[in-house]
A and B are shown apart, each in its own frame.
Chain A
């Protein structure tokens, strides 16, 4: 399971990188995606030309605004410094040399390896500032335009070269990046955010980066003619963005909400480069000018793309003009002089490349983690590996619109029929923990106690099915029920992605249901087709997964009535009301209680049969240091990827 992306062109995915992207990611298929579009439906709506997404707005003068609101300071953080502070209180359990000799064969060993190798350098002298890092991309990045970002590969590359104002740390607390901002303030009524940018920022073509670029980017994202695949969701919750001078920005919200802080986080493109060309070619991809830009994009981040070989490699180089002004360092230098992103789609090939030292980091799937391939001397000659809990859950989604799953008791019966132990112990080698609802147990919004994972109990499952009226009335061995005068056999189709582990789990459910007189036909479905069927609610049941968002409110479009990713058409007034309440509640404790309640309700209702949390497994070259796992994996947070470094040889 868990190759990151097997069909790169077919996969809609989105993952958050620091400073660019949105707050939520999704994993609709067990294996093929790391995470996926925040809102697949938005792709379609974007192509409707007549639509007006942004009503004109006349922002008040800054003086008027200043007079009427009280500002509350928000965090402006150098994430690396934040990480360094967090590390100061911890000690590594073993020395670096010991850690490099360790085999990662137990949770203790993993802890030791991470504690020693996952640290930032003690001093700048330890870092090889001229180092090159060879990263692995599991699919080519299609576009170098941050607004067009859609796949994990794109987000990984854009995270290095694109300009962004906001990010969040490993606890998913939002922050403004100190590299680019002077201050960030939110009004006490929650209606405005004010940001002052630094005045020493430049695009790679030498032009200054200003507040007007941010405004232009916002307006381009909201331009219905521009086919923005992923980043519009959330941004469209904003009322307006205004620039009062080259540095001062104000974001206007439609209503106060704790989720507003996520909506202001969108990627930024250079106004002087795109202003005219977008009018001619709103696709931002087809005109000759845009095609040229794809090859040599104007970058606003710490790295610039120097070479791009389609389907093979993207080479990025550290921008000295970004870090230095008049020969003086004005921001903390990034650790690598050059980053080469090698595109390798097949996970087995990627592992071979890692062992040969051709790439220096790669994600591993559980088979690779558990077997000889990553446990023998050959692997440990050049590499080591590490794992961390990741908040990516997988589930069976039941379509409540079908006669089979409209009844809560039937959904519960499904969960009781499934052999969870067999899946966790035998199919996943005990590497994954059971999932009990949408939020991970260690998350602040998860209920603190009282939930137990489902265990297989066929007696209970049969009792529940009997109660719900599904009994074998005609003695053919298949349960049936008369609905509206018509007898329906309990025979349904379970959609699954075509990846082996997804199919194995689905087949296990089939076996289990077979024993209690329910026929489940497993249908391997190509990922994009699967997604389309889900969006159109044309399925009985489907196996899928969601990656975590940064805020629990992002799950509203999964469980809210009529929401566009509520594939199973689940509807519960209480849940809807709680989501509404969650958006208005600013007290963190009360807010946590609201989402815990939602968690409990959807778990009780078994909207999904939750299966497991998918951990992240990575192989790292022994030269690499500084990796730390967050609920969003080792890279997709601040500082995330930026904390990696290589020691002086």
Chain B
């Protein structure tokens, strides 16, 4: 017997969920998502990465997390996030940002709380900089050791420190570029789907047009023009070109949902267009859209790594995983650690996002849900 496709609201009332009739759609999704071990593990991994990204300066760095210097409290490690946040007092007076030596020398009263690992993602740690720690080896000598857990690259920069700080780039690239994509994609898709008519025709053509623009070529052109390319430029380009899939899905959902009774009811009550679009329709359309966003994050991370690998990423020094891979390429026969660790990091991160996406898909799509049983 043909059954109408249940709207998400109806699903909640399905028999197997009766014991928790009060659960909303997302709570229900979560319950279902939780049942998928791998997806849950992947989510935990991404959360772990997020924590690493946020606390990177406290995990590996050569700047104190907190220090008291000449009567004031400072947080120099914030300089890793934005160089302006490192107080100028540490540049002037020939301090030169060499903390362990100069803090004591210039103010014997000073104290500092150091990051867990004294290694810098941007420079080689020299001999005698930190008590009982030798200078980082260079060339192909940087095998993983007790001082450099994951080894060093050819110019002596610690791989662990670079990977920890590179996590921030990977996380940011994924979230920011897909954030931009989501906003543009949902906005355009919703408008096209809801209004229909010539607006739909026009916006659909725009979507098709943007689909034809290769992001890679745009990025290369941008790098040629810009005086200084940062990771933010890459994210904007990736975001500004990657929204078409989302827009199409949103449009389709809106086309479908706008004829459903509750929308009609809302209209009859005189609710404004935008309120209907974003408060009533979008909520119910969101589930299928979240899935491509998750996959999009994974592909954005891959793209950024690939760009850095090819040397077209953000301007150096840029401790991206892809940059590390690229450094390992030239001496691949000797420096396995330069390829293995960042390679694994990229692999697992992309895998994790894909698993999460798949989990979400199956948890939100009632058809797949039935099939999964």
Interface residues of A (CB under 8 A from B): 348, 367, 370-373, 422, 426-427, 429, 458-459, 462, 472, 475-477, 493, 498, 500, 503-504, 506-508, 510-511, 514-517, 521-524, 526, 529
Contacts and interface: CB of A to CB of B under 8 A. Distances in A.
B233 interface: no
Nearest to B97: A515
A645 to B, nearest CB: 32
Contacts of A522: 315-317
Nearest to B311: A498
Nearest to A506: B316
Which of A348, A370, A426, A517 has the most CB atoms of chain B within a 10 A radius of its CB? A426
Given A472-B92, A516-B96, A524-B311, A510 B317 contact: yes
A31 to B, nearest CB: 11
The 8 nearest A-B residue pairs measured at CB: A477-B88, A515-B96, A477-B91, A426-B138, A511-B123, A521-B228, A504-B155, A498-B311
B129 interface: no
A507 B317 contact: yes
B224 interface: yes
Nearest to B135: A426
B333 interface: yes
A372 B334 contact: yes
Contacts of A506: 316
A472 B139 contact: no
A513 to B, nearest CB: 11
8 contacts: A370-B139, A371-B140, A373-B333, A427-B154, A477-B91, A504-B154, A515-B91, A523-B228
Given A510-B317, A523-B228, 15 more contacts: A367-B139, A367-B154, A370-B139, A426-B155, A427-B154, A472-B91, A475-B88, A498-B311, A507-B316, A511-B122, A514-B97, A517-B91, A523-B227, A524-B315, A529-B224
Contact of B94 (A372, A422, A462, A504): A462
B86 interface: yes
Contacts of A367: 139-140, 154, 330-331
B124 interface: yes
A426 B156 contact: yes
B88 A476 contact: yes
Which of A476, A504, A526 has the most CB atoms of chain B within a 10 A radius of its CB? A504
Interface string B312-338: 000111000000001100111110000
Contact of A524 (B96, B97, B124, B316): B316
A510 B157 CA distance: 15
Nearest to A372: B334
Contacts of B229: 523
A596 B331 CA distance: 41
A348 B329 CA distance: 10
A522 B333 CA distance: 29
A522 B315 CA distance: 7
Contacts of A517: 91-92
A462 B138 CA distance: 28
A475 B89 CA distance: 8
A348 B98 CA distance: 38
A503 B97 contact: no
Interface in B110-134: 122-124
B124 A426 contact: yes
A171 B91 CA distance: 50
Contacts of A511: 122-123, 317
Contacts of A498: 311
Contacts of B326: 500
B155 A477 contact: no
Interface residues of B, number: 34
Given A477-B91, A493-B227, A529-B224, A523 B315 contact: yes
A523 B123 CA distance: 18
B93 to A, nearest CB: 10
Query: Which applies to chain A's interface (DSSP): helix, strand, loop or mixed?
Result: helix
Given A371-B331, A426-B124, A507 B139 contact: no
A347 to B, nearest CB: 9
A529 B123 CA distance: 28
Contact of A458 (B96, B224, B315): B96
A518 to B, nearest CB: 10
Nearest to A475: B88
Interface string B141-155: 000000000000011
A30 to B, nearest CB: 14
B97 A521 contact: no
Interface string B223-265: 0100111000000000000000000000000000000000000
A590 B154 CA distance: 46
A10 to B, nearest CB: 14
Contact of B155 (A507, A510, A521): A507
Contacts of A521: 227-228, 315
Contacts of A422: 124
Nearest to A521: B228
A494 B334 CA distance: 31
B313 to A, nearest CB: 9
A504 B224 CA distance: 20
A427 B229 CA distance: 25
Contacts of A370: 139-140
B323 to A, nearest CB: 10
Nearest to A515: B96
A422 B155 CA distance: 9
Contacts of A514: 97
Given A458-B94, A521-B228, A429 B139 contact: yes
A426 B127 CA distance: 12
Given A504-B155, A511-B122, A477 B86 contact: yes
Contacts of A348: 330, 332
Nearest to A510: B317
Contacts of B98: 515
A307 B151 CA distance: 49
Nearest to B90: A477
Given A472-B92, A493-B227, A493-B228, A372 B333 contact: yes
B333 A459 contact: no
A475 B92 contact: yes
A226 to B, nearest CB: 32
A508 B97 CA distance: 15
A493 B331 CA distance: 29
Contacts of B315: 521-524
Nearest to B156: A426
A493 B154 CA distance: 24
Contacts of B88: 472, 475-477
Contacts of A462: 94
Contacts of B138: 426-427, 429
A250 B330 CA distance: 52
Contacts of A477: 86, 88, 90-92
B124 A500 contact: no
Contacts of A523: 227-229, 315
B77 to A, nearest CB: 16
A514 B63 CA distance: 14
Contacts of A508: 155
Which of B92, B138, B330 has the most CB atoms of chain A within a 10 A radius of its CB? B330
A396 B259 CA distance: 67
Nearest to A526: B224
Contacts of B123: 511
Contacts of B331: 367, 371
A517 B122 CA distance: 16
Nearest to A514: B97
